[in-house]
Amino acid sequence: MQARRRLPVKLIQYDDSSDPSKATALAEQLILQDKVHILIVPPGPPVVSIPVNQVAERYKVPCLSDGFLESWWGAGPYKYCWTGSLPWFVTPIPENDFRAGKRGYSALFNFLDFTDLFRDQLSKKIALFATNDADGRTFYELASKIAQDAGYTVIGVEKSLGLYAPGTVDFTSIIREWKKGEADVLWGMSIGVDFATMWRQAASLGWKPKMAMDGRALKNYDDVAAIGGDLATGLADPFQAWHPSLPYKSFYGGRTCADLADEWTRETGKAWTEMLTTYSWAETACRAIEIAGSLDPEKINQAFPNIDFMSISGRVKIIPEYHSTPSLFHVIQWVKTDKPWVWEAEIVWCADPSIKPTHDIIFPLP
């Protein structure tokens, strides 16, 4: 975009209620009626994001989407769909990229590396808990392999113990097998309400692992608060991409992470949320238009492989062969505070020393 030319940015937002059919219809509405130049699909279940991606491909409109690389990329091929800050499970980052070989960019190795910090204090027996959907099945398969290769035992892996149908309300038989198998670590990729149900039942059955991590269910305050009592203390999300303490600034205007969190709280009265990482997705969309120097969808799409800038979520550099930009992830644990929202996510560990902890690791779980 030429320096003398300025374009107003209009954000049109719809709520798909996590309904795939509604999401598909709204994506078509955005393209055909609202005439958008780019679609942005924020973090959510693949059953919603993938159909929207298919709409974008059909109408040849650039789209920034969400998902885990292995399951998202496997639903392609894609020409017009790209990702914001997509978690890569285990796929190696190409050698010519600045992130190559660095463990903090691999979501599943964050599970393993954080667990390994306390390896000598564990039974080395792991319980896996995941939804029976595209992301959950991919997680279960890859996590079990990584854990076993590292010398851990996955309880009930031969019968996919812990792979459950979303909306399940009784997890007692699964929990009893975890307890009988002496699992003292939980790795999960579940849904917030389901995790809360399982965790409350685990407490009532007397199963309390020393460490519990979930990469999807423990991202949002409301899901954590709904667990009840003090049961959420120390629960961990092993791949969070954003936190108010991170040392980044927005590309447009220089807003800091702390500034963004404060603005969110002032305007909503609520605690900050990791979903604020999608601010960088809007920055990425604007960068694509700037690089393209045009509002033509084809030119915008051709600009994505050239994106490389510092955003409020860190460096965004698209890897063209995967249409993706892996993020640097840190591990958070939930702790109680004296603030109005009671619970807050604190950084306790990151493979990259540039990301500083904001709280000591809570181990074992109280």
Asked if residue 37 is part of any domain, the answer here is yes
Asked if residue 208 is part of any domain, the answer here is yes
Same domain, 122 and 77: no
Same domain, 31 and 159: no
Same domain, 67 and 125: no
Same domain, 206 and 285: no
Distance of alpha carbon 324 from alpha carbon 222, whole angstroms: 29
**Percentage helix, strand, coil for the chain under 3-state DSSP, each rounded to 5:** 40, 15, 45
Asked if residue 300 is part of any domain, the answer here is yes
- Enumerate the β-bridge partners of residue 129: 188
**CATH number of residue 316's parent domain:** 3.40.50.2300
Same domain, 211 and 288: no
Domain count of the fold of the chain: 2
Asked if residue 179 is part of any domain, the answer here is yes
Asked if residue 91 is part of any domain, the answer here is no
Same domain, 168 and 307: no
Asked if residue 4 is part of any domain, the answer here is no
Task: Kindly provide the residue ranges of all beta strands, DSSP E only, lying in the chain, ordered along the sequence.
Answer: 39-40, 63-65, 81-83, 125-131, 153-154, 163-164, 185-189, 211-214, 236-240, 308-311, 314-317, 330-336, 343-349
**What angle in degrees, to the nearest 10, is found between the helix axes of 192-204 and 172-180?**
60
Which pLDDT score is estimated for 4? 53
What does DSSP say about strands 153-154 and 125-131: parallel, antiparallel, or unpaired? parallel
Distance of alpha carbon 159 from alpha carbon 180, whole angstroms: 16
Distance of alpha carbon 20 from alpha carbon 219, whole angstroms: 22
Which pLDDT score is estimated for 1? 40
Token reading at 182: 């002496």
Which residue segment(s) compose the domain that 318 sits in?
Answer: 20-83+276-322
Same domain, 197 and 337: yes
Same domain, 143 and 218: yes
Is-contact 105 134, C-beta < 8 A? no
Same domain, 187 and 335: yes
Same domain, 301 and 339: no
Distance of alpha carbon 340 from alpha carbon 84, whole angstroms: 31
Same domain, 113 and 131: yes
Asked if residue 250 is part of any domain, the answer here is no
Same domain, 45 and 136: no
Tens place of pLDDT for every residue, the chain, 366 residues? 445 567 788 999 999 988 889 999 999 999 999 999 999 998 777 778 889 999 999 999 999 998 778 878 888 899 999 987 767 888 899 999 999 999 899 889 999 999 999 999 999 999 999 999 888 998 999 999 999 999 999 999 999 999 999 999 999 999 999 999 999 999 999 999 999 999 999 999 999 999 999 999 999 899 999 999 999 999 999 989 999 999 999 999 999 999 999 999 999 998 998 889 999 999 999 999 999 999 999 999 999 999 999 999 999 999 999 999 999 999 999 999 988 889 999 999 999 999 999 999 999 999
Asked if residue 128 is part of any domain, the answer here is yes
